[in-house]
Amino acid sequence: MEAKGMVAVWEKASIPALAQASRILREFSGLDVEVRETSVASVAWDTVAGRVNTHVAEPLYAVHIGAQGLFDAQLLLLFSEVNSQRLAAAMLGDAVALPLSDLALSALAEVGNVVGTAFLNVFADLFGAVWEPTPPHVYFSPTGQWLRNVRPGTTVLVTEALFRITDEAVFGEIMVIPLLKEGAGGGSA
């Protein structure tokens, strides 16, 4: 699928996926949760990788979910260290320290799982295909483990999102990185 087609689908998927994620997070946590987009864009992978790799001074937590279906993809939720701490604390209902404890990492992974699966469900409806997610994994930058499989020139689909949980507002980014196989569409996504 060409980049313009993917961006059109991404723009169409973002709002309903975040609405679905909000509903599921509310049901799961019992908290007042709303996740909404603040912007949607397509960005060249090289730009994303360069920006992420510069976060050594300002570390990131990345929730990674792999997806297999019509095409393979990686879904990432990226949060600054402070936003990760605030998100985990809001989900757990208690202050958390940095670096994040296993319990806080688990809360972050569950948010990533719900949001990532919501996007996959909306994609499945739009494409009439099924995507199977992998379990979420949380990485702390440097995040080279999930950067290896992406081909140069790939178009990354990015939604900047605002997570409101009770009285806490947390900003993060949701990325879908298509991993098109050779011969499946010819080039980058």
CATH number of the structural domain spanning residue 158 = 3.40.1550.10
- Token pair, residue 187, equals 């080039």
131 falls within a domain: yes
Percent over 90 (pLDDT), the chain = 49
Angle at 116 between CA 73 and CA 134, to 5 degrees: 60
Handedness of CA 18, 133, 76, 182 (dihedral sign): negative
pLDDT for res 52: 65
In-domain check, residue 185 = no
Residue 184 lies in a domain: no
**63 three-state secondary structure:** strand
pLDDT grade for 187, boundaries at 50, 70 and 90: very low
Global pTM? 0.85
Identify the pLDDT of residue 145: 57
37 within some domain: yes
Angle, helix 3-29 to helix 102-127, in steps of 10 degrees: 130
Domain of residue 159 covers 3-179
**Residue 187 included in any domain:** no
Confidence at residue 142, expressed as pLDDT on a 0 to 100 scale = 57
Residues found in the chain: 189
Q: How many domains does the chain have?
A: 1
Q: Which residue pairs, CB below 8 angstroms and at least 24 apart, start in 102-107?
A: 105/138
In a domain, 189, yes or no: no
User: What are the pLDDT digits (tens) for 135-169?
Assistant: 999 998 755 555 666 777 888 888 999 999 988 99
Residue 186 within any structural domain of the chain: no
Whether 66 is covered by a domain: the verdict is yes
